[in-house]
């Protein structure tokens, strides 16, 4: 409910794009900065609401939003218009016959099946590290933009009886919290960075994006599809899901923590360097796995191995990040502070391209 945006950073480059937080005078919270897309949900959310997908650049999520405003009238959105290639986002899948699927549009190779079981985020990283299939062990968790590229927004459990993914893939059925047939949430390698911590990671819901909505009159909580199959939300990287028995957040987002995995690798380095054959997000080299240092220490977590570290952490612009300014886990500070002087300088800061955030 804060109205102070001075310490917030949106999930878009606001030095290039015009960005506005929700305005109190419009009856919005500052987090109400939802940008509309032309993609309508093929099913409905909440209590049968007609729904479109939007990107919230204030909180870094993709959700289905009801077109009707709960307070009456049509909901309003911010808008960024686009022109150019209409082939963007069109997949070119090919079944390789060896348990993998190639998307010629992006140069990425995917597992045809998923992990078949859920796991927390560190376990998912280890699963990728040790995975071998189709003669290669160069598998990794996809980043958020990569995983979003195989969402099929023409499909949903309620309309096609399937996950929101092309049927060329196999998707393991689950029984959701309401006892219904459903499909899983899938981890990405992207940390969902918050203003105070980096303890959550991004997932995509290939089944219903469930939440426990509270009736304002009775206080009763009802489980329903609140954001739509194809939504991007986040879960704690580790923890006990039973502590969130009625979800979390304003819509009571279901918290599972043990999410499924579908790994990816690039067909070749050219695909990484030159990008896809059509105008689409390019594959990003893997930079988000902890690396062992010369002393054998485990490397910093995903939230640190991204570009712009000093820009993000050096709050007073003096070229140094003392312990009191550092916002990540303290073991990451100790790892980066190679000379032990309780200050991280430019030469000690992690480098590498960001894993991509939606």
Which residue from 206, 330, 296 is spatially nearest to 256, judged by alpha carbons? 206
pLDDT at 25: 83
19-33, 42-56, 113-127, 240-254, range with the lowest pLDDT: 19-33
Distance between CA atoms of residues 95 and 97, nearest Å: 6
Distance between CA atoms of residues 62 and 47, nearest Å: 19
pLDDT at 318: 82
Distances (CA, A) of 35 to 52, 184, 233: 10, 26, 16
Tell me which CATH code domain 289-358 carries.
Answer: 1.10.238
| Contacts within 8 Å (CB) and 24+ apart, 338-342 | none
Distance between CA atoms of residues 108 and 10, nearest Å: 28
pLDDT at 292: 36
pLDDT digits (tens, 9 = 90+) for 134-180: 999 999 999 999 999 999 999 999 999 999 999 999 999 999 999 99
**Contact status, residue 262 vs residue 111, Cβ threshold 8 Å:** yes
Q: Please report, for the chain, the start and end positions of each structural domain, with discontinuous segments joined by +.
A: 1-83, 93-266, 289-358
Q: Regarding predicted confidence, which is higher, 305 or 172?
A: 172
The C-alpha angle 131, 141, 180, rounded to 5 degrees, equals 95
Confidence of residue 48 (pLDDT cuts 50, 70, 90): very high
pLDDT digits (tens, 9 = 90+) for 225-245: 999 999 999 999 999 999 999
What lies within 8 Å, CB to CB, of 316 at 6+ separation is 325
Confidence of residue 306 (pLDDT cuts 50, 70, 90): very low
Dihedral Cα 110, 99, 174, 115, nearest 10 deg:
-70
The tokens 């997949």 sit on which residue? 91
Q: Regarding predicted confidence, which is higher, 353 or 232?
A: 232
Confidence of residue 335 (pLDDT cuts 50, 70, 90): low
Tokens of 80: 């960024």
pLDDT average, residue stretch 97-124: 97
Report the chain's mean pLDDT, rounded to a whole number. 84
Distance between CA atoms of residues 194 and 236, nearest Å: 12
What lies within 8 Å, CB to CB, of 59 at 6+ separation is 11, 31
Share of the chain above pLDDT 70, in %: 82
């Amino acid at each position: 409910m804060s109205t102070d945006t001075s310490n917030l950073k949106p999930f878009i480059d606001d030095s290039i794009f015009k960005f506005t937080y929700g305005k109190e005078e419009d009856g919005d919270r500052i987090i109400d900065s939802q940008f509309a897309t032309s993609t309508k949900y093929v099913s409905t959310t909440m209590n049968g609401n007609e729904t479109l997908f939007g990107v919230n650049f204030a909180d870094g999520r993709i959700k289905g939003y009801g077109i009707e405003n709960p307070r009456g009238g049509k909901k309003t959105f911010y808008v960024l218009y686009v022109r150019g290639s209409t082939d963007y986002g069109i997949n070119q899948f090919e079944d390789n016959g060896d348990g993998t699927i190639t998307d010629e549009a992006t140069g990425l190779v995917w597992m045809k099946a998923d992990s078949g079981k859920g796991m927390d985020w560190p376990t998912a990283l280890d699963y990728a590290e040790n995975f071998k299939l189709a003669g290669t062990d160069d598998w990794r968790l996809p980043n958020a933009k990569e995983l979003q590229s195989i969402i099929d927004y023409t499909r949903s459990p309620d309309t096609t009886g399937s996950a929101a993914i092309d049927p060329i893939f196999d998707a393991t059925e689950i029984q959701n919290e309401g006892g219904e047939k459903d499909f899983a949430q899938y981890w990405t390698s992207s940390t969902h960075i918050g203003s105070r911590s980096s303890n959550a990671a991004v997932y995509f819901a290939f089944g219903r994006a469930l939440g426990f909505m509270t009736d304002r009159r009775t206080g009763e909580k009802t489980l329903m599809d609140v954001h739509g199959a194809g939504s991007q939300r986040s879960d704690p990287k580790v923890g006990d899901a039973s502590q969130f028995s009625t979800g979390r957040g304003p819509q009571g987002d279901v918290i599972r923590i043990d999410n499924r995995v579908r790994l990816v690798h690039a067909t070749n380095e050219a695909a990484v360097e030159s990008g896809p054959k059509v105008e689409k997000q390019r594959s990003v080299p893997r930079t988000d796995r902890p690396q062992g240092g010369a002393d054998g220490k485990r490397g910093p977590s995903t939230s640190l191995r991204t570009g712009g570290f000093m820009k993000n952490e050096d709050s007073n612009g003096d070229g140094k990040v003392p312990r009191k300014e550092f916002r990540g886990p303290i073991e990451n500070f100790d790892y980066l502070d190679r000379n032990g002087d309780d200050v991280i300088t430019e030469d000690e800061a992690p480098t590498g391209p960001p894993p991509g955030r939606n």
